[in-house]
Every structure is written in C-alpha cells, then in structure tokens.
C-alpha cells in the first residue's frame, strides 16, 4: 500500500526527517507517535503532497507520488488535517461533498448518489443535523467530524489522520476512530494517523512507529513497542506502562514530577523493531 524509503525533509536549514523508512500494508492501521517536533505532521504532509521532500521516495500501490497529478493523488489519499483552513461561505454538507471531487469530471456537479453518500457519512459521524449550517459558525469539534466525513466519502484506499481526536470529547474520540477503522477495513483500505495519545493509539493501531530525532526509533505492535524504556527515551518522561483491564492493550501513565528526568545522552538513534 504505502512504502516510504529514506525520506528527508528540512524547514530551511533545520532537519526534521533524516532518512525515514517505513511501510503501511493493505488493511493496516498504523500510528505515528513521538513528541512535538518529531516530524509526525511533516511526514503526513509529504505523503499528501502538501510538502515536497528533499530526497527519498514515497509510493502508494507502486505509484511514486512525485510522478502523479494532484487529482490522481486525491483519489488515492484522503486527509484529515490538524489545522485546516475552512471556507466560511460553504455549508457543512457542501464541505463534505468536496470529498467527491476526485471522482467527478471537470465541471461536473455532484449526483444524487454523491449527496446520499455524504449524508450517510455525516450521519455516521454525528453531524447530519449540521448539514445546512455554515462552516464558519461551527465549533472545532463539529468541524473535525465534518473533515472525517469528507475523508470517508472520498473513498480513497489510504486515509491520513493528523491528530484526529483533537477538539473531540471522549465519546466522539472513540466514535470517530471506530468509524474510520471499520470503514477502511470494509474496503480493504489503510489508515496512517499521527496521534499524541499512546494509550488510545494502542487500542486502534496494528502497529506504532515512534519517530525520534528524525528517524524511526521503534516500529512494531503496540504491545511490543510501548515500553517504559522506549517511552522514556523518546519523550524524556518517566512513565509506568500497565495493561488495560478490558482491552488488554498498553496504557501509559506519566509519573508526576518526573518529566525530562530521564537523560537521552548517548542515545545512538538506532531503530528498534519487533
């Protein structure tokens, strides 16, 4: 599905990604985790085409993303961005219908089937009641659910989620992730998400990729890579990792007063994998 090889990127003279190599298989849900500034959003921006890499290769189903048109890329990749710019003069339904654009011919209007698809996605994300409201009058959480609905109607084989639970309450956090996971699974599609909450990521992701100092530090199933040692080294925080009593997945508990207590001096940037 997605193959990334030796990806490098800098903002001006500041390196962010220093040779990232990773993959996402068909039907996989993969989480990209790491501290602020680790390059999670940058990685998603490079895959979606918002940013252009300094070197390296990104391929989706064997197609080099640098060699395909924006329209072709949009048919292959749907994005739920972290800090989007919203067109204020559109209604919520119109925003969601924008996800159908890659499937339309030039100057073609959306069909009744497109509208039904958009309405169903809005119902599933709990925002159908907002259909006729202007986007600029909605809350951050309501807008976030609209973006998820738009990504779903795009019907792309790969969905990128950049902090998908931002601005959402607990019920909508799990509801949105459940919906994206189930929808992509039914299509045989894949999900790559940048997410801060390690405990939540452990419940939804088949694999987690830890980014640290511009490289992949660890890559594997949550139960194998969410360890106290790895979290301390990557985040510089003292934590305790326990097992969720219901889900059986790792739960990360920070130890109060111990942030940055662990020195990463001497760390060699070696990749750990399961």
Q: Which pLDDT does position 252 carry in this prediction?
A: 97
Q: How does pLDDT run across 28-38, given as a tens digit for each residue?
A: 999 999 999 99
Q: Specify whether the CB–CB gap between 2 and 190 falls below 8 A.
A: yes
How high is the pLDDT of residue 268? Answer: 42
Alpha-carbon Rg for the chain in angstroms: 19
Would you say the C-alpha torsion 41, 47, 53, 59 has a positive or negative sign?
Answer: positive
Q: What six digits make up the tokens of 226?
A: 């969410």
What pLDDT, in 10s, does the model give residues 190-249?
999 999 999 999 999 999 999 999 999 999 999 999 999 999 999 999 999 999 999 999
Residue 106 has pLDDT above 80, yes or no: no
Question: Coil, strand, or helix at residue 137?
Answer: helix
Written as one string, the DSSP assignment of 119-167 is HHHHHHTT-GGGTTSBGGGS-HHHHHHHHHHHHHHHT-SEEEEESTTTT
Per-residue pLDDT band for 272 (boundaries 50, 70, 90) equals: low
Q: State CA 244 to chain mean position distance.
A: 23
This prediction has a pTM of 0.88
Flag whether pLDDT at 14 surpasses 60: yes
pLDDT of residue 128: 96
Q: Are the C-beta atoms of residues 56 and 5 closer than 8 Å to each other?
A: yes
Are the beta carbons of 33 and 209 closer than 8 angstroms? yes
Residues belonging to the chain = 274
Domains and CATH numbers, the chain: 2-266 (3.40.50.300)
Q: Which of 49, 54, 46, 52 is nearest to 13 (CA)?
A: 54
Model pLDDT for residues 180-192, shown as the tens digit of each residue: 888 888 888 999 9
């Amino acid at each position: 599905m997605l193959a990334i090889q030796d990806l490098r990127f800098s903002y001006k003279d500041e390196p962010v990604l220093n040779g990232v190599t990773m993959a996402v298989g068909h039907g996989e849900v993969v989480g990209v985790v790491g501290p602020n500034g680790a390059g999670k959003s940058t990685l998603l921006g490079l895959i979606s085409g918002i940013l252009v890499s300094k070197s390296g290769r990104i391929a989706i189903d064997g197609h080099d993303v640098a060699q395909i048109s924006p329209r072709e890329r949009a048919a292959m990749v749907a994005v739920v961005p972290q800090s989007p710019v919203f067109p204020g003069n559109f209604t919520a339904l119109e925003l969601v219908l924008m996800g159908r654009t890659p499937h339309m011919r030039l100057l073609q209007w959306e069909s009744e089937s497109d509208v039904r698809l958009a309405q169903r996605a809005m119902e599933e994300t709990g925002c159908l009641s907002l259909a006729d409201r202007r986007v600029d009058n909605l809350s951050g959480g309501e807008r976030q659910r609209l973006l998820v609905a738009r990504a779903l109607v795009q019907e792309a084989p790969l969905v990128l989620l950049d902090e998908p639970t931002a601005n959402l309450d607990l019920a909508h956090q799990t509801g949105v992730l459940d919906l994206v996971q189930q929808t992509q699974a039914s299509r045989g599609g894949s999900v790559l998400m940048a997410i801060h909450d390690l405990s939540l990521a452990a419940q939804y992701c088949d694999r987690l990729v830890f980014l640290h100092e511009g490289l992949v530090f660890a890559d594997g199933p949550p139960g194998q890579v969410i360890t106290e040692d790895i979290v301390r080294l990557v985040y510089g925080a003292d934590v305790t990792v326990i097992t969720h009593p219901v889900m059986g997945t790792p739960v990360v508990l920070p130890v109060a007063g111990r942030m940055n207590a662990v020195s990463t001096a001497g760390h060699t940037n070696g990749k750990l994998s399961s």
